[in-house]
Amino acid sequence: MNANQPQLSILVPTFNNEKIIRDCLESVKWADEILVADSFSTDRTLDICREYGARIIQHEYVQSAKQKNWAIPQCAHAWILQIDTDERLEQGAREEIINAIANAPDDLNVFRIPRKNHILGTWLQVSNLYPDYQTRLFRRDLARFEDKEVHAHIRVPGQVGTLQHHLLHYGMTSLSKQLMNLDRYSRYQADELKKRGKHFHWYQLVFRPVAIFAYYYFWKRGFTAGYRGLLISAISTTFDFWAHAKLWEIETFNLPASPR
């Protein structure tokens, strides 16, 4: 970027991501700064980040939103693109992002980016997986992630712009990995439900799963994506089922918040 253009920081949260971090960093290496917010990785993640000139800060992980909100003020530049290690920018996004932040009016503080979710190696557009807008490009001093235990979104005042180029998301690379995430994230969601004052009711395990599966598989046309559509609909259903089951467990046994 030249001196007349606003500069951009890339914020990447990491923890033991040596297998996937390189592709992520390769897609954003053109930025003015890469800031890695690491949760004390023990593999080669930080060595790879140093190859790309990243500045590394470390902090004990509590939850995703708190980790990112801790890191945001430490970014050097006024505009930030937050990207996860299992994501990358598609080709052509660089020029669009540079132009977007250079020409943003004063009351436009965030851009949403469409995301392509790849499920077991294939990009799916059904079951609410596309365009799956992510508000990830934002002004540092105005944006913070909402205080949620899981699936927190950016909260920013003012107008929201929309980019055309995509984030590419490779989060579901195997069923085993997805099942491990399901166990962990459903507990985070149960913690979130408790924090919001929600209580368990028996019908949440009887009627909600039927409605959720019908929504994703039939209404959102998951059936058109073959087995992948069936699997993603089932995963969405079981996530909600286990979140409410774990809410019952928390209430019944008076469990503390989940360790991270």
CATH code, domain carrying 43: 3.90.550.10
Range with lowest mean pLDDT among 38-47, 80-89, 137-146, 250-259: 250-259
Query: Do residue 38 and residue 22 come from a single domain?
Result: yes
Shared-domain flag, residues 153 and 57: yes
What's the predicted TM-score (pTM) here? Answer: 0.95
User: Which tokens belong to 8?
Assistant: 């951009």
Domain boundary among 171, 204, 236: 171
Q: Are 206 and 248 in contact (CB under 8 A)?
A: no
Cα–Cα separations (whole angstroms), residue 243 to 61, 73, 149, 190: 21, 32, 12, 5
| pLDDT at site 221 | 98
DSSP the chain: --TTSPPEEEEEEESS-TTTHHHHHHHHTTSSEEEEEES---SSHHHHHHHTT-EEEE---S-HHHHHHHHGGG-SSSEEEE--TTEEEPTTHHHHHHHHHHS--TTEEEEEE-EEEEETTEE--STT-SS--EEEEEETTT-EE-S-SSS--EE--SEEEE-SS-EEEEEES-HHHHHHHHHHHHHHHHHHHHHTT----GGGGTTHHHHHHHIIIIIT-GGGGHHHHHHHHHHHHHHHHHHHHHHHHHHHHTPPPPP-
Comparing C-alpha atoms, which of 252, 253, 244 is closest to residue 189?
244
pLDDT at residue 1 greater than cutoff 60: no
Say if residue 184 is in the same domain as residue 227: yes
pLDDT of 230 over the 60 cut: yes
Domain co-membership, 115 together with 48: yes
109 and 219 together in one domain: no
**Band of the pLDDT at 199, cuts 50, 70, 90?**
very high
Tell whether 30 is covered by a domain. Answer: yes
State the Rg of the chain over Cα: 19
Residues 217 and 131 in one domain: no
Is residue 260 in a domain? no
User: For residue 152, what pLDDT band results from cuts at 50, 70 and 90?
Assistant: very high
> 59 and 125, same structural domain?
yes
Q: Residue range 141-167: average pLDDT?
A: 95
80 and 199 fall within a common domain: no
Mean pLDDT (whole number) for 115-138: 98
Examine residue 1 and state whether it is found in any structural domain, yes or no.
no
Let me know whether 189 and 130 are in one domain. Answer: no
Residue 213, domain member (yes or no): yes
pLDDT value of residue 11:
98
Residue scoring higher pLDDT (4 or 60): 60
Which of 141, 171, 201 is at the close of a domain? 171
Note whether 181 and 224 are same-domain residues. yes
pLDDT of res. 260: 75
Same domain, 42 and 160: yes
Q: pLDDT-based confidence at 174, cuts 50/70/90?
A: very high
Say if residue 186 is in the same domain as residue 153: no
Q: Average pLDDT of 87-97?
A: 97
Among 140, 171, 202, where does a domain finish?
A: 171
Cα–Cα distance, 140 to 17 (Å, whole number):
25
Task: Give the residue numbers spanning the domain of 245.
Answer: 174-253
Contact 236, 210 (CB under 8 A): no
Res 259: pLDDT: 80
Question: Based on the structure, what is the number of domains in the chain?
Answer: 2
Residue 154 has pLDDT above 80, yes or no: yes
Distance CA 75, CA 140 (A): 8
Is 123 among the domain residues? Answer: yes
